[in-house]
Amino acid sequence: MMTRTSLLLLLTSSLVQSDASGCPSLAASQGCFCQFQIKAKRVDFSCNSTSLEDLLTSTETIADSQQVVWHLKYSNVSIGHFKKSLLGSLRANHFIALDCGITSIDQDAFSGLSDDLESLDFGQNKLERVPTPALESLANLDTLDLSNNLIETVHAEAFKGLKSLRFLSLLGNRIKFVDDLAFKGVGGSLTHLNLIGNALSTVPSKPLQILSDLQWLHLHENRITSLAKEDFSGMGENLEELGLASNQLEEIPDRAFAYLKMLNSLDLDGNRIRYIHPKAFKGIERSLEWLKLGENQLSAIPAESLRRLKNLMDLNLRQNHIEKILEDDFKDYGETLQFIYLQKNRIHTIEMKALEELDSLGWLYLSSNNLSVVSDETFQPVLDTLQAIDLSDNPFNCDCHIAWFRDLIRDKKFNVVNMGKETRCRTPPRLNGKSIASVSAEDLVCVEKASTGAEDSSPPLEDSSRGVKDSSQGGKDSSQRMEDSSHQFLACPSLVLLLLLTLLST
Ligand SMILES: *[C@@H]1O[C@H](CO)[C@@H](O)[C@H](O)[C@H]1NC(C)=O
Ligand SMILES: *[C@@H]1O[C@H](CO)[C@@H](O)[C@H](O)[C@H]1NC(C)=O
Ligand SMILES: *[C@@H]1O[C@H](CO)[C@@H](O)[C@H](O)[C@H]1NC(C)=O
């Protein structure tokens, strides 16, 4: 297999050369390849898993050809200390040196690249510091990736000179400390900062204040235990996306994001959040559209805090400890919600009018909860807009109250129901494990509860009541049965009315 691939590569590279392209011929044994992209008129050059000597020889050959290499890629070559001689007079637009065991970089190593280099990726190496002296001359650098190195501290002015830098990734290092002046020099240009997977215990707010153009800040997978009101001050005006997932937050305090007037997406998944201050989202009422609060420890929908969010579109509360959806849980902010994720909670009750304000709801996820009943009346307000609903993995009691849902599944009312999973009955015992869609209409009957009379104390046996129901409704189709059950709802008042009318007419 390997030999076939290399043969193929060999073939393509020799074809390329005959194409009068910019690729000089390289000794095939050296594991370095030059490719000419005819359409884009670009030369790409890569060395993977070669010896340092072979890399040097091939690089020199390419450099001698005077080409500006579009993608220059070294991977899995044991480099260690990166010297200027590794690049010689080579010029490149994008330079990637992955997994090369790089521990340090000569101050002048990239001096030949300063005019052309747009992106630099030194991921998966062994750098313990940001190599500032080597980077300083790269005035046209747009993207710098130092992910998966061993950096513990981001020192003052670590990125000075990088006047055009917009994207910076420090993902997967061991950063505990960021100097207050760490980003001095890139404050006016940086738009994306990735600090995922480090060891920060607080939001590095002071250093972030310089970053007036930041649009995207990801702080997932750190060890942040609390947020303070001032954490995001100063940097605020342009931030659109903030990621704080998989930290150790327990509460969201008053005005935690108040300065972030443009914040559109906030990810707080996977923390230990138990409390959200009613004014936690003050300042971002108009801008926030995406809010993730999944995998936390909320025991109720934090409605008081959410009411202010007038443009919220996507609310994720999956995997919390929520037990009930209350009548006013979506009041005052529900009209714009399109996606609600509530799966893996402990919901056993959805109050009658709870969904009434959800005028735009398209996707509702309620799987893996503790629902034994879902009433027609509760869901009626959203049936017109809903495109997908997931009620799978709930302990449903399959009686007349669920007939409407069975009919919806059968009629394919939604584009997607239960995301391909079956919704099954838990009770009564004779229907345990049966898919609701497959239960016959005759089986979805209600055990009549006598509201007066002496029989109250001894509920009728399921089988006998079933017999009674069957004989009275046996021949009717399910939609009629649904009507019947809603008529039953009105039976008492209309009876009284009838009685009154009869009395009056006599
Ligand atoms: C290098 O080559 C190996 C196979 O020898 C391959 O698995 C790996 O993905 C390559 N690495 C890069 C960065 O191209
Ligand atoms: C890295 O290169 C060595 C040879 O230098 C090889 O044995 C190893 O499989 C390579 N690893 C990867 C991930 O390509
Ligand atoms: C499910 O709800 C019932 C009440 O309807 C409650 O007794 C039971 O403990 C709940 N189970 C779980 C796993 O929350």
Which ligand 3 atom minimizes the distance to the CA of 349? 5
Residues 244/268, Cβ–Cβ less than 8 Å: yes
Helix axes 478-505, 403-411, angle to 10 degrees: 130
Pocket of ligand 2 (CB under 6 A): 49, 76
CA distance 173 to 196: 9
Question: What is the Å distance from ligand 3's center to 378 Cα?
Answer: 20
Q: How far is CA 262 from CA 13, 37, 127, 182, 341, in A?
A: 49, 41, 35, 24, 24
> Measured from the CB, is residue 98 less than 6 Å from ligand 1?
yes
pTM of the model: 0.83
Residues of the chain with pLDDT under 70: 1-21, 28-29, 236, 412-420, 448-506
> Measured from the CB, is residue 321 less than 6 Å from ligand 3?
no
- Nearest ligand to the C-alpha of residue 427? 3
CA distance 322 to 324: 6
DSSP 57-80: HHHHHHHHTT-EEEEEEEES----
pLDDT of residue 477: 38
Residues 24/49, Cβ–Cβ less than 8 Å: no
* Site to substitute for ligand 1 among 48, 51, 125, most atoms within 8 A of C-beta: 48
Strands 68-75 and 42-48: parallel
Name the closest-CA residue to atom 6, ligand 1. Answer: 48
Show Cβ contacts of residue 202 under 8 Å, excluding neighbours closer than 6 positions.
224, 225, 226, 231
> Measured from the CB, is residue 48 less than 6 Å from ligand 1?
yes
Cis ω for the linkage preceding 302 (within 30 of 0): no
- Nearest ligand to the C-alpha of residue 55? 2
Show Cβ contacts of residue 474 under 8 Å, excluding neighbours closer than 6 positions.
442
**Structure tokens given for 267:** 């990810």
pLDDT of residue 487: 36
* Site to substitute for ligand 3 among 324, 344, 348, 394, most atoms within 8 A of C-beta: 348
* Site to substitute for ligand 1 among 33, 76, 100, most atoms within 8 A of C-beta: 76
H helix intervals, 245-371: 303-306
Q: How far is CA 382 from CA 81, 128, 414, 441, in A?
A: 63, 55, 11, 24
pLDDT of residue 417: 65
The distance of Cα 405 from the centroid of its chain, to the nearest Å, equals 30
Show Cβ contacts of residue 18 under 8 Å, excluding neighbours closer than 6 positions.
none
User: 168: number of CA atoms within 13 Å, CB side?
Assistant: 26
pLDDT of residue 406: 87
The secondary element (H helix, E strand) that includes residue 379 is helix 376-379
Which ligand 2 atom minimizes the distance to the CA of 76? 1
> Measured from the CB, is residue 426 less than 6 Å from ligand 3?
no
* Site to substitute for ligand 2 among 53, 76, 79, 124, most atoms within 8 A of C-beta: 76
Question: What is the Å distance from ligand 3's center to 406 Cα?
Answer: 23
Burial 462-498 (b: 16+ CB within 10 A, else e): eeebbeebeeebeeeebeebbebbeeeeeeeeeeeee
Question: What is the Å distance from ligand 3's center to 58 Cα?
Answer: 69
Show Cβ contacts of residue 380 under 8 Å, excluding neighbours closer than 6 positions.
none
Burial label for 3, CB within 10 Å (0-12, 13-18, 19+), is exposed
pLDDT of residue 445: 84
pLDDT of residue 501: 41
Question: What is the Å distance from ligand 3's center to 297 Cα?
Answer: 17
> Measured from the CB, is residue 32 less than 6 Å from ligand 1?
no
- 290 beta partners: 265, 314
Question: What is the Å distance from ligand 2's center to 49 Cα?
Answer: 5
> Measured from the CB, is residue 346 less than 6 Å from ligand 3?
yes
> Measured from the CB, is residue 324 less than 6 Å from ligand 3?
no
Q: How far is CA 180 from CA 42, 134, 202, 203, in A?
A: 41, 22, 13, 12
Question: What is the Å distance from ligand 1's center to 4 Cα?
Answer: 15
